[in-house]
Structure 1
Amino acid sequence: MFSLQNVIQIVLMFFVLVTLHEWGHYYFAKRAGILVREFAIGFGPKLFSYKKGETRYTLRLLPIGGFVRMAGEDPEIVQVSPGQTVALQLDRSGVVSHLYLDQLDLRSNVVIGEVRQLDLERELHVSLDVDGEAIRYPVHPQALMVTKGRETQIAPLDRQFGSKTVGQRALAIFAGPVMNFLLAFVLFLIAMFMHGIPQQIKLDSVSAGSPAEQAGLKAGDIIKEINDVEIGADSGKIVTEIQKSADRSMRWIIERGGEQRQVQMTPMLKDGALIVGIRMDSINRKATFGEGVTGAWDSMVGTTKNIFLGFKMIVTGNFKLDDLGGPIRIVEVSNEFADLGLKYMIAFSGSLSLYLGIFNLLPIPALDGSRLVFLGYEAVRGRPVDPQRESMVHFIGFALLMLVMLAVTYNDILRLVKG
């Protein structure tokens, strides 16, 4: 069940992961002088929108990511051509501040004429034929074009994404995943301080009817040895010993109430794995700062290895469709970790942030990794790829990603229906 507290935690987790990723793109794009038109969380129809400075901030319907729209990345939607009749609004110094493209008769305090020449990227001027007289007007670098009630700020060449150096553009792209890596480390560090350093493994719960219950194990028991192997704080040893004990009895030494006891049990096979029916916890002490940093780094390294192992299984085809999960499955798993407690939810959020950063660096069209590949090719080649061709590659990649997303989401729904 999804409690209100869990829902709030899950929504907050996704909001922070996506927002920080996009903020990385946004911050370094702004530092490079690029005009950022929109900072969006989600895709699809807008739910909420407001504009501050040059950037419009939007919250969209589908919570499956976000984007930062920079000037020059895609062809500009608003176009003005010679021969078109427009209205110009001038500031006190005679510089164009607004270019109106429709409803010209309703505009007041404007100059109306037919466009003879127009340059909104380099020289920033517009020449109008006003009552048979050609008049040239300078255009402000932040002038607005207005049509159908929408304002679009012009983007001089030096404010466009493509005008910046390869290094500046690469940094603006790479900064998104980097923010996720930094967030993952911070979350792992917080989880380490909350969880502490394990000293001993104890039982959190024992499943009814399981071999562990039949052997007399109870929640709170401390596991000292299994088959003469000292356990200490390493829960992995318990798993290893269980998997080595198919069809044979295991000897456990546990501590309960300060006294040690010996029990015998034989694992049972369930869903292709040997289990004894226990859920483990640990007895911990507070971590020092150095131990916290070391533990957070170890968590980063271990989680990264597992992520790449999952990618390898997908590439080699060594997986089932049920192994893949979309947004619904991620929410389900998030709810499970939220049920375990805040420290587990924080650690899971760190893993998800790390996964988001790594996944975005894959050289898949529409992802940050693919855009970095194009920039690397440009650096070696000495000139950029045709922007229209690159945009087409990213568009096709995005469409394919959406198809995959729909497929795994459909599979998630089937799994829910089947229970």
Structure 2
Amino acid sequence: MTTIIAFIFMFGLLVFVHELGHLIFAKRSGMLAREFAIGFGPKIFSFMWDETVYTIRLLPVGGYVRVAGEDPEIIELKPGHHIGLEFNEQQKVNKIIVNNKSKHSHARVIEVEKADLDHSLKIHGYEVDEDEKLIFDVDPKAFFVMDEKETQIAPYDRQFASKTIPQRAMQLFAGPMMNFVLAIFVFLIIGLIQGVPAEEAIIGDVQPDSAALEAGFQKGDKVVQIEGESIRTWEEFTKIIQDNPEEELTMLINRNDQTQELTVIPQKVETQGTTIGQIGVQLALEKSVIKSVQNSVVQTYEWTKLILVNLGMLVTGQFSIDMLSGPVGIYDATDQFVQRGLYTYLTWTAALSINLGIINLLPLPALDGGRLLFVGIEAVRGKPIDPQKEGVVHFIGFALLMLLMIVVTWNDIQRLFL
């Protein structure tokens, strides 16, 4: 049960933060965000606030922010349609009843001649059985009412395509950006609570039955010399240890402002086909707000670099698709990290957030990076690509991503049960 709760929280947090970035910058640029969704498929829960419907959906495979203009508008008024109109105090149309007009006794029924709900916000038409042509002004925040469900209209200036290239690019980039911000924040929390690695060669925990314990090392000891060579950093200390397995080393340490000399023989350890020395100590952690901030940025950078290297190996064929993990594999890994403790789980969460940000920035159809690519092409050529053609590309890309997800999930299940 603990793992299930931890996985749901982690998944929800990563998707929520990612989509929140898209939502914030959509609203900042004046776009109409119709829906903020976590998950895909049937709705489990929903509510509306500030023009946006917030939903939780059944399938935990991502999320989305649906901005007006990104998809074809669902309702279109054509000549000859009979519609009902309701008005606000300024005598502007605030509800357009598409069907079931008999349920709206106060609605004024007209036959549409033409309607422009993108620019002029006017409906031209005739009252039923009347010849007089009428023109109605439409409120920019009017609603369609179809099957008793209200959908806000989207004038062109509220649509994605109406915004400048920088505004659209920022709205698309904001999701991945927020994943990196989340990673920095999580690493900062870890640093503030647990501490950050000390820069100097200060001993943290000493492992039982280790060469260090036998030599007399204690927590808090600061190594200042090894075989007469000055030691300033933990990296210098560990390099000498690793390079001298089963060799006697004389070390000068500082303990409680007093200098002592200790002799230790690193144990020989085989790792990845290489023999190194180890004495069984861990680096000390220190608490510092400034160093925690610095470390959170460094940790995010190092994880980003590691993920990019592995991604490059996947592209060049050094990793196979069988090594990828989907939701099942991530759940299994989460179970292992939860058992190792809170800080390991939080580090895993931050790493996944970085991974989500990087993957979404790849220039692939249906991903944020793919859509950014189309915006970039528009900036270069001076005009947008045909929206229908772009939509087809993204649809095919989304279908292929779903296929990849199925294959990866099947591989996860096989690894678990075979």
Q: Distance in 2 between matches of 1:205 and 1:330?
A: 33
- DSSP-derived class of the 2:284 partner: strand
Q: Which residue of 1 aligns with 2:44?
A: 47
Whether contact under 8 Å (1:233, 1:282) holds in the other structure is: no
Q: Distance in 1 between matches of 2:300 and 2:373?
A: 25
Whether contact under 8 Å (1:70, 1:160) holds in the other structure is: yes
Q: Which residue of 2 aligns with 1:175?
A: 174
State the Cα distance separating 1:147 from its structure 2 match: 1.1
Q: Which residue of 2 aligns with 1:76?
A: 73
Residue identity opposite 1:83 in structure 2: G
Q: Which residue of 2 aligns with 1:36?
A: 33
State the Cα distance separating 1:232 from its structure 2 match: 7.5
Which residues in structure 2 correspond to 1:11-410 (within 5 Å)? Answer: 11-130=8-127, 131-133=129-131, 134-193=133-192, 194-198=194-198, 199-200=202-203, 202=205, 233-234=234-235, 237=238, 241=242, 250=246, 267=269, 282-410=282-410
State the Cα distance separating 1:167 from its structure 2 match: 1.0
- Per-residue Cα deviation, 1:128-166 (whole angstroms, up to 9, x for no partner): 221223222111111111112321111011111101111
- DSSP-derived class of the 1:300 partner: helix
Q: Which runs of 5+ in 1 are unaligned?
A: 207-211
Whether contact under 8 Å (1:201, 1:233) holds in the other structure is: no
Residue identity opposite 1:81 in structure 2: K
Whether contact under 8 Å (1:252, 1:263) holds in the other structure is: yes
Q: Distance in 1 between matches of 2:398 and 2:299?
A: 31
Q: Which runs of 5+ in 2 are unaligned?
A: 252-259
Q: Which residue of 2 aligns with 1:209?
A: none
Whether contact under 8 Å (1:83, 1:115) holds in the other structure is: yes
State the Cα distance separating 1:273 from its structure 2 match: 5.5
Q: Distance in 1 between matches of 2:357 and 2:284?
A: 31
Q: Distance in 2 between matches of 1:236 and 1:259?
A: 15
State the Cα distance separating 1:338 from its structure 2 match: 2.0
Number of residue-to-residue matches in the alignment: 398
State the Cα distance separating 1:400 from its structure 2 match: 0.9
State the Cα distance separating 1:293 from its structure 2 match: 2.5
Whether contact under 8 Å (2:195, 2:292) holds in the other structure is: no
- Per-residue Cα deviation, 1:331-361 (whole angstroms, up to 9, x for no partner): 2222222222222222222221112112111
- DSSP-derived class of the 2:408 partner: helix
**1:347–1:113 distance in 2 versus 1, CA, 3 Å:** same
State the Cα distance separating 1:111 from its structure 2 match: 1.1
Whether contact under 8 Å (1:201, 1:232) holds in the other structure is: no
- DSSP-derived class of the 1:97 partner: strand
State the Cα distance separating 1:23 from its structure 2 match: 1.0
**1:189–1:16 distance in 2 versus 1, CA, 3 Å:** same
Whether contact under 8 Å (1:85, 1:112) holds in the other structure is: yes
Residue identity opposite 1:14 in structure 2: F
State the Cα distance separating 1:416 from its structure 2 match: 0.6
Residue identity opposite 1:116 in structure 2: E
Whether contact under 8 Å (1:201, 1:280) holds in the other structure is: no
- DSSP-derived class of the 1:395 partner: helix
Further displaced range: 94-103 or 154-163:
94-103
Q: Distance in 2 between matches of 1:235 and 1:399?
A: 51
Q: Distance in 1 between matches of 2:68 and 2:241?
A: 55
**1:60–1:280 distance in 2 versus 1, CA, 3 Å:** farther
Residue identity opposite 1:200 in structure 2: I
Whether contact under 8 Å (1:87, 1:113) holds in the other structure is: yes
Identity of aligned residues (%): 39
Q: Distance in 1 between matches of 2:335 and 2:144?
A: 46
Residue identity opposite 2:42 in structure 1: P
- Per-residue Cα deviation, 1:265-312 (whole angstroms, up to 9, x for no partner): 65468xx76799x99773524232332223222212211111111111
State the Cα distance separating 1:196 from its structure 2 match: 2.9
**1:113–1:239 distance in 2 versus 1, CA, 3 Å:** farther
Q: Does residue 1:416 correspond to 2:413, yes or no?
A: no
The TM-score with structure 1 as length reference comes to 0.83
State the Cα distance separating 1:195 from its structure 2 match: 3.5
- DSSP-derived class of the 2:385 partner: coil
Residue identity opposite 2:405 in structure 1: M
Q: Which residue of 1 aligns with 2:257?
A: none
- DSSP-derived class of the 1:67 partner: strand
**1:236–1:314 distance in 2 versus 1, CA, 3 Å:** farther
Residue identity opposite 1:349 in structure 2: T
Q: Distance in 2 between matches of 1:252 and 1:377?
A: 64
Whether contact under 8 Å (2:203, 2:218) holds in the other structure is: no
**1:365–1:166 distance in 2 versus 1, CA, 3 Å:** same
The TM-score with structure 2 as length reference comes to 0.84
Q: Distance in 2 between matches of 1:103 and 1:239?
A: 82
Residue identity opposite 1:141 in structure 2: P
